[in-house]
């Protein structure tokens, strides 16, 4: 029978072993195990203050407390939520439903085996979920990570649905293969799911009773995590776009062991019949859990592409044509599994924020708003590369950055540090709060492992005296325009272009210093530095950015400020 959900005893970290649908494995490496599950006296919900940079989210409210809770999805009418949780009285993850205010938490799965990927039927009379309970009533065995970071594609998962009125549990799809990641069209006309039933990880659609199966993808690699748009016309999903024979062979070898390596995933979208399949993002990280806004023009998703260490997951929004990428959440560690309600007025997601234990993941809901903001953009007027052998700064298409391996010292004529300076025009910022400010540089297609180098040798942005000109450049300019000691921020990864070049984003969180720089009548100026030694990274491994003289305006340095 369905029983009330109460937790008191200490909990294991489900994410230490949870490496399957769709991305719990990403969480596994982010934090140690929490020591406790949800307390007996936990409230149904709790409001928290808004994050100053998260201006799309208001009335942020926590709905779960303790243990590991994720993959929370709305019922069509927005009155109920289904999610999966790991709590101490169960051997592995189970499925729970609750009211939209966090009350009436109720176990829907059997309490046995491992469960994942739950979704309400449109009439809210059934909850669909995948489970191993008929084959394995215990926990899923932990993975051997000796081959690197992997997810388990568990062939013991079959798809079931629970009748919430009669408590009857009915098998829907059983194929002796991985079947999970189910979502359902709001009108009940079809559902989508991911399976290995044909020998590869592909996306399928079928009737809600499991009949009339149609395969929607036909690409070697992991096509999965499909979500149906609220109008039922589009399906958004994540895909590992394998490019080389080595990548394909490694993928096939691991899949034969029911494993996948999820390091690089991007967002794709297709029509409901599988046609018009197109790529949305090129981000170079693990992007997952996409969901279409009800307007059908924007996709929200979680990604770590911006973090050189790959540990920070935040929510992002992008237009379906791949333009307009912007960051939504900014709290440390993990934000993921976002879903809009049908009206687009509320967002539900999982997060590590406000956890009582390190690594604790809970469910949050927030009002989604489109605030009145002004975005100011400026292109560089001058940029120079400070190095004894640099020449022709008024026509050089590149900036270069490296170091000696030591902290940046004062300027010397024979110094080995390569520093680049960028100056922008005087910018008029409207009245209001500066909620975001960043400088964006575009790195050329890397030849020497620069992406990996950034993890060891970050690129930093610093303030520098303005007024320099590339037309009157000389190396001695460094005597009067050497970077200051104050670091304003470090590089994060941005979008990757088709030619392999990629953006590096320098967020400036120190608003007081930014306002000081913006008040300079000669315009704000910045220096870019790193301790990456050329002797170690090699000539092809130094950081190399397009300058303002690049023929393609899209890759030139730019300053972006958002004011509310």
- Of 26, 130, 78, 59, the C-alpha closest to 352 is 26
Q: Residue 257's pLDDT is what?
A: 94
The mean per-residue pLDDT over the stretch 468-480 comes to: 87
C-alpha span between 510 and 493 (Å, rounded) = 20
The mean per-residue pLDDT over the stretch 396-423 comes to: 85
> Domain 14-370 belongs to what architecture?
6 Propeller (2.120)
Q: Residue 274's pLDDT is what?
A: 97
Residues 6 or more apart from 275 whose CB is under 8 A from it?
A: none
Is 80 exceeded by the pLDDT of residue 26? no
The mean per-residue pLDDT over the stretch 11-35 comes to: 39
210: left (phi over 0), alpha (psi -120 to 50) or beta: left
C-alpha span between 426 and 192 (Å, rounded) = 52
Domain edges within the chain: 14-370, 375-563
Q: Name the token pair of 117.
A: 């990927």
Q: Residue 24's pLDDT is what?
A: 45
Q: Residue 413's pLDDT is what?
A: 73
Q: pLDDT grade, residue 35 (50/70/90)?
A: very low
**275-278: long-range contacts at Cβ-Cβ below 8 A with a sequence spacing of 24 or more?**
277/217
Q: Residue 18's pLDDT is what?
A: 37
Is 80 exceeded by the pLDDT of residue 13? no
C-alpha span between 60 and 292 (Å, rounded) = 21
Q: Are 288 and 313 in contact (CB under 8 A)?
A: no
Is 60 exceeded by the pLDDT of residue 28? no
Is 50 exceeded by the pLDDT of residue 23? no
Q: Name the token pair of 120.
A: 């309400």
Residues 6 or more apart from 241 whose CB is under 8 A from it?
A: 219, 221, 264, 266, 279
Q: pLDDT grade, residue 558 (50/70/90)?
A: very high
Q: Which of 18-32, 79-93, 179-193, 352-366 has the lowest mean pLDDT?
A: 18-32
C-alpha span between 405 and 398 (Å, rounded) = 22
Q: Residue 129's pLDDT is what?
A: 98
Q: Residue 461's pLDDT is what?
A: 95
Percent of the chain topping pLDDT 70: 93
pLDDT, one tens digit per residue, over 52-85 is 899 999 999 999 999 899 999 999 999 999 999 9
Residues 6 or more apart from 323 whose CB is under 8 A from it?
A: none
Specify the DSSP element, H or E, that contains 421: strand 419-423
Q: Residue 209's pLDDT is what?
A: 98
Q: Are 106 and 98 in contact (CB under 8 A)?
A: yes
Is 50 exceeded by the pLDDT of residue 5? no
Is 60 exceeded by the pLDDT of residue 15? no
Residues 6 or more apart from 199 whose CB is under 8 A from it?
A: none
> Which has more confidence, 340 or 389?
340
Hey, what's the torsion of the CAs at 127, 131, 133, 134, to 10 degrees?
Answer: 90
Give the strand order in the sheet containing 214-215: 179-184, 191-195, 202-206, 214-215
Specify the DSSP element, H or E, that contains 339: strand 335-340
CB atoms within 10 A of CB 141: 10
Is 60 exceeded by the pLDDT of residue 155? yes
- Of 41, 55, 129, 60, the C-alpha closest to 93 is 129
In degrees and rounded to multiples of 5, residue 511 shows phi and psi of -65, -35
The mean per-residue pLDDT over the stretch 223-250 comes to: 95
Mean pLDDT of the chain: 89
* HEC secondary structure over 71-109: EEEECCCCCEEEEEEECCCCCCCEEEEEECCCCCCEECC
**Cross-strand bridge partners of residue 307:** none
- Of 313, 364, 360, the C-alpha closest to 87 is 360
Residue written as tokens 């088709």?
498
Q: Name the token pair of 360.
A: 């604790």
Residue written as tokens 């009335």?
59
Cα 268 versus chain centre, distance: 14
pLDDT, one tens digit per residue, over 364-380 is 999 999 888 899 999 99
Q: pLDDT grade, residue 39 (50/70/90)?
A: low
Give the strand order in the sheet containing 115-120: 115-120, 126-131, 158-163, 169-173
Q: pLDDT grade, residue 98 (50/70/90)?
A: very high
Angle at Cα 352 formed by Cα 48 and Cα 61, nearest 5°? Answer: 25
C-alpha span between 464 and 557 (Å, rounded) = 16
The mean per-residue pLDDT over the stretch 515-534 comes to: 92
Is 60 exceeded by the pLDDT of residue 356? yes
Q: pLDDT grade, residue 411 (50/70/90)?
A: confident
Is 60 exceeded by the pLDDT of residue 215? yes
Percent of the chain topping pLDDT 90: 70
Q: Name the token pair of 504.
A: 């590096």
Tell me the residue ranges of DSSP E strands in 433-548.
434-443, 459-463, 487-496, 502-507, 525-530, 543-546
C-alpha span between 26 and 18 (Å, rounded) = 9
- Of 111, 148, 108, 132, the C-alpha closest to 28 is 148
The mean per-residue pLDDT over the stretch 192-202 comes to: 97
């Amino acid at each position: 029978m369905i029983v009330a959900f109460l937790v008191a005893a200490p909990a294991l970290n489900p994410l230490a072993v949870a490496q399957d649908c769709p991305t719990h494995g990403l969480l596994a490496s982010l934090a140690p195990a929490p020591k406790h599950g949800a307390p007996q006296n936990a409230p149904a919900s709790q409001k928290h203050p808004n994050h100053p940079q998260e201006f799309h989210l208001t009335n942020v409210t926590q709905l779960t407390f303790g243990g590991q809770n994720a993959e929370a999805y709305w019922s069509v009418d927005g009155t109920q939520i289904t999610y999966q949780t790991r709590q101490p009285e169960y051997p592995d993850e189970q499925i729970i439903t609750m009211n939209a205010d966090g009350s009436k938490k109720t176990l829907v799965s059997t309490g046995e085996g491992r469960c994942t990927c739950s979704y309400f039927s449109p009439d809210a009379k059934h909850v669909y979920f995948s489970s191993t309970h008929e084959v394995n009533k215990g926990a899923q065995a932990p993975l051997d990570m000796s081959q690197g970071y992997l997810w388990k594609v568990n062939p013991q998962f079959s798809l079931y649905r629970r009748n919430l009125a009669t408590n009857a549990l009915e098998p829907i799809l059983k194929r002796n293969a991985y079947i999970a990641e189910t979502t359902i069209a709001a009108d009940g006309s079809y559902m989508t799911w991911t399976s290995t039933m044909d020998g590869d990880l592909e996306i399928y659609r079928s009737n809600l009773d499991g009949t009339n199966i149609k395969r929607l993808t036909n690409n070697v690699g992991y096509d999965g995590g499909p979500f149906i748009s609220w109008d039922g016309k589009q399906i958004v999903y994540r895909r590992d776009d394998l490019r080389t024979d080595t990548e394909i062979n490694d993928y096939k070898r691991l899949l034969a062991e029911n494993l996948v390596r999820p390091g690089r995933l991007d967002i794709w979208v297709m029509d409901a019949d599988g046609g018009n399949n197109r790529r949305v993002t090129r981000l170079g990280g693990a992007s997952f859990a996409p969901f279409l806004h009800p307007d059908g023009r924007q996709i929200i998703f979680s990604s770590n592409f911006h973090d050189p260490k790959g540990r920070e997951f935040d929510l992002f929004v992008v237009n379906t044509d791949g333009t307009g990428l912007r960051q939504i959440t900014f709290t440390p560690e993990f934000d993921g599994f976002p879903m809009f309600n049908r009206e687009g007025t509320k967002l539900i997601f999982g997060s590590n924020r406000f956890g009582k234990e390190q690594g604790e993941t809970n469910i949050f809901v927030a009002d989604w708003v489109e605030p009145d903001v002004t975005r100011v953009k400026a292109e560089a007027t001058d940029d120079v590369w400070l190095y004894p052998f640099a020449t022709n700064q008024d026509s050089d298409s590149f900036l270069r950055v490296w170091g000696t391996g030591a902290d940046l010292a004062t300027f010397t004529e024979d110094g080995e540090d390569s520093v680049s300076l960028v100056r922008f025009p005087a910018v008029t910022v409207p009245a209001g709060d500066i909620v975001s400010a960043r400088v964006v540089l575009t790195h050329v297609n890397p030849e020497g492992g620069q992406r990996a180098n950034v993890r060891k040798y970050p690129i930093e942005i610093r303030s520098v005296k303005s007024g320099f000109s590339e037309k009157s450049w000389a190396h001695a300019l460094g005597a009067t325009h050497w970077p200051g000691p104050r670091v304003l921020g470090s590089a994060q990864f941005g979008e990757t272009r088709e030619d392999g070049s990629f953006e590096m984003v320098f967020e400036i969180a120190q608003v007081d210093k930014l306002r000081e720089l913006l008040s300079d009548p000669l315009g704000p100026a910045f220096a870019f530095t790193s301790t990456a030694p050329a002797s170690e990274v090699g000539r092809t491994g130094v950081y190399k950015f397009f300058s303002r003289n690049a023929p393609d305006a899209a890759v030139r340095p730019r300053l972006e400020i958002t004011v509310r």
